[in-house]
Structure 1
Amino acid sequence: MSITTLSSRRQNLLLIAGILLIATSLRVTFTGAAPLLDSIRADYGLTTAQTGLLTTLPLLAFGLVSPLAAGFARRFGMERSLTGALILICAGIAVRSLPSPTLLYVGTAIIGCGIALGNVLLPGLIKRDFSGHVAKMVGAYSLTMGGAAALGSALVVPLALSGLGWQGALLALMAFPLLGFLVWLPQWRNHTPAAVTTSRSLHDKGIWRSALAWQVTLFLGINSLVYYVIIGWLPAILISHGYSEAQAGSLHGLLQLATAAPGLLIPLVLHKLKDQKGIAIGVALMCAVSAVGYWLMPQQAVLWTLIFGFGSGATMILGLTFIGLRAGSAHQAAALSGMAQSVGYLLAACGPPVMGKIHDASGDWHIPLIAVAVISLIMAVFGGLAGRDKEIHGKS
């Protein structure tokens, strides 16, 4: 083996390690705060609505910043933009952990901006550097992201009780983006701008006029909506059916682990398929079935949690894979990723409060769960359309 080949392999492994470590920061720094919300509310005397804003604020940041990410990548390059994303996440964690209610919200918003950049740019980077292994890479970073989220959720409460307090526990989550920053830093020197096509359809504005782009967007976006409704309200749904808070919390953690599991399986299946229509419809239907299951047979909540987690996790992996498969270039992938995640997270930001209001008006969770099931059926329709073996060209 030549020295050049060995060096190239090491650089490739370092790039993959950097991608996976960035992925660990894209969920844990957000979802890791959820188990501490009661402590935060009690410490600062926040209302339920003010506490809920800590969940909604990052989703709004995702939706508003995502469309800007492709422009940053064209101007500064993907490597440097992702470095900036990690710096923002670290800075946001530091600000959020300071003893001030105002800085708690400011830091949360900064974290949301950094995560939004990472969410959008990673699919574009994978399209550019691993175009022949999109599904495998998306599966690997989805698995890593889900595993880190579950680990963070499991660790923050023990850390807070160990004497660090909730601020110290949240500050400890900086270990994820800080490690990612250190491993990713060599990519700053290896800055490789992707070619920018001159076709208008491949730029940010043109992508919004593509029917296929909208099909991918709504498949991924509706999944974000139903995922954040269930992840936000599952403990309350379970408690209303007689589960204890500890049982509900355990199932909430199980849900996050279940969303990571498809990262092992979906990439192994995709390369054997002529297109992805059938599997996209199937995993969306899993979300619909589980929502009905929570309503009709809540005593089987473990089963429905596993089914929903696998279906939603697989949908996310497929949606992110579609970004790479349907786009014709790295920058088009970044623009499509920005479009899909902007729409998806704005929908997600609306979902939990709307379903909460429906619950308050009706007095139970039946109507919200039926709504999740119906929305999941609509997601299955868009999955069938987005799963066709096509690529975005002009106004496809």
Structure 2
Amino acid sequence: MSHARLTAAWTLAGLVLLAVNLRAAITGVAPVLADLRTALGLSGVEVSVLTTLPVLCLGAFASLAPAAARRFGTETAIAGALTLITGGIALRLVPSAVALFAGTIVAGAGIALGNVLLPAVIKRAFPDRVGPLTGLAMMLMACSGAFAAALAVPLDDAGGWRLALAVWAVPSLIAVVAWGPLARRSAPPEPTRTASVSLLRSPLAWAVATFMGLASLMFYVLMSWLPEIMRDHGVAAGTAGIMMSAMLLIGIPLGYVVPVFAARLPDQRVLVLAVGGCMVAGVGGLIAAPGIGWVWVVLLGVATGSAFPLAYTLLNLRSPSPAVAARLSGMAQTGGYLLAGFGPLAVGVLRDATGGWTVSLTLLLVLVVPEVVFGLVAARPGFVRAAAGAPVPAPEPVAVR
């Protein structure tokens, strides 16, 4: 095997290991919250903060990733991100509420950096595989997140909450080892005008960022409140939980299919319209006819399972270079996750204030309009420009094999 092929294979293995570690440290906590609360004496407010903190960290630290990549090199920054994830998981094993929150912040920072830099590595190392590899990453993130949540309680029963949290340090440590050789080979990229100028003046960049933010908000609101919504409409607790699981499971194959299909299209606006149509039908159905909830759950699974992978793919499709992809990813994920972090809280407050879900769901329905509008702008062919507002016409799409 030639040196170039070996490097490409090693980088691909590294990407797989990176994607596997970008959700498990978050999703493995919620199922053992009851034991954490008892063992560490957490209050209800502290538990609420603990569940919101990871999403806020994803937004708060995402903006640091492009600067870290420029300063140290992308591979070194990714190795550092995985080290933070491993260290954060280890810190949470200390039997202290302070250590639990600190470890969550450290791990969240590492995940935020990895989220942002993943598209840049795909763009640079595999420019003709953007669709399939983005889809593979989305599917691996969804699967590892679901796997971590499913194993948390059995691991807790077998060895306590420390074992349930500690086990995810193993794959992250393996990933650190895998990225070590890549980091040693990398050098910080030469500074360029495109990489150094802000994207804040680009309407296309703002469209991509807003579309990602609203897609994330819809997903996290439904993930947080769908079981409660269905229970309040007479669905048994167990069935309501299965409904949420079904919505998430529908998103796993779509996480692969949507990026592959999007990368093959010269114009992704038809996908944005399809996502918007499914979201309107699903949310509107919950308002008008909650009795046939399974129909709306399937539609919402298609909508949420397609929207975020599509937005993630657009980070690469609208970037003329890996450096711009990293900056656009940082910009979009900073705003997106911060917005998503406050979405479930706002919906819960509205529900408590009104005594029902109609106003909250109507708000989601209204937010579909800007999601589609900004999505249509983001999905038009073109590249963002760091120094000016107008998009650059895109070249003919590269065939994805």
Between Structure 1 and Structure 2, which shows a larger proportion of helix residues?
Answer: 1
Residue 206 of structure 1 aligns to a residue in which SS? Answer: coil
| Equivalent of residue 165 in structure 1, options 135, 143, 160 | 160
Partner of 2:276: 284
Does structure 1 conserve the Cα–Cα contact (< 8 Å) formed by 2:216 and 2:336? Answer: yes
Task: For residues 169-225 of structure 1, give each alpha carbon's deviation from its aligned partner in whole angstroms, at most 9, with x where no partner exists.
Answer: 1112223322322332221233154454224xx43x520111000000000111111
Q: Per-residue deviation at 1:62? A: 1.7
State whether structure 2 residue 215 is matched by structure 1 residue 219. no
Gaps of 5+ in 1: none
User: Cα–Cα, structure 1 residues 97 and 290, in superposed 2: closer, same or farther, change >3 Å?
Assistant: farther
Residue 64 of structure 2 aligns to a residue in which SS? Answer: helix
Code of the aligned partner of 2:144: A
Aligned residues: 388
Partner of 2:226: 234
User: Cα–Cα, structure 1 residues 293 and 41, in superposed 2: closer, same or farther, change >3 Å?
Assistant: farther
Q: Per-residue deviation at 1:8? A: 2.7
Structure 1 residues 92-171: aligned runs within 5 Å: 92-162=88-158, 164-171=159-166
- In structure 2, what is the Cα distance between the partners aligned to 1:300 and 1:54? 34
Task: For residues 281-321 of structure 1, give each alpha carbon's deviation from its aligned partner in whole angstroms, at most 9, with x where no partner exists.
Answer: 21133223222223333343333333223322321111111
Residue 185 of structure 1 aligns to a residue in which SS? Answer: helix
Partner of 1:39: 35
- In structure 2, what is the Cα distance between the partners aligned to 1:46 and 1:157? 19
Residue 392 of structure 1 aligns to a residue in which SS? Answer: coil
Partner of 1:9: 5
User: Could you tell me the percent identity over the aligned residues?
Assistant: 37
| Equivalent of residue 237 in structure 2, options 238, 245, 250 | 245
Partner of 2:399: none
Structure 1 residues 69-88: aligned runs within 5 Å: 69-88=65-84
Structure 1 residues 159-308: aligned runs within 5 Å: 159-162=155-158, 164-199=159-194, 202-203=195-196, 206-308=198-300
Partner of 2:389: 395
Q: Per-residue deviation at 1:49? A: 2.5
- In structure 2, what is the Cα distance between the partners aligned to 1:118 and 1:258? 24
| Equivalent of residue 330 in structure 2, options 338, 347, 367 | 338
Q: Per-residue deviation at 1:73? A: 0.2
| Equivalent of residue 377 in structure 1, options 363, 369, 376 | 369
TM-score, length basis structure 1: 0.92
User: Cα–Cα, structure 1 residues 380 and 119, in superposed 2: closer, same or farther, change >3 Å?
Assistant: same
User: Cα–Cα, structure 1 residues 111 and 345, in superposed 2: closer, same or farther, change >3 Å?
Assistant: same
- In structure 2, what is the Cα distance between the partners aligned to 1:174 and 1:309? 30
User: Cα–Cα, structure 1 residues 192 and 284, in superposed 2: closer, same or farther, change >3 Å?
Assistant: farther
Partner of 1:52: 48
Does structure 1 conserve the Cα–Cα contact (< 8 Å) formed by 2:259 and 2:313? Answer: no
Q: Per-residue deviation at 1:324? A: 0.9
Partner of 2:398: none
TM-score, length basis structure 2: 0.91
| Equivalent of residue 311 in structure 1, options 303, 311, 314 | 303
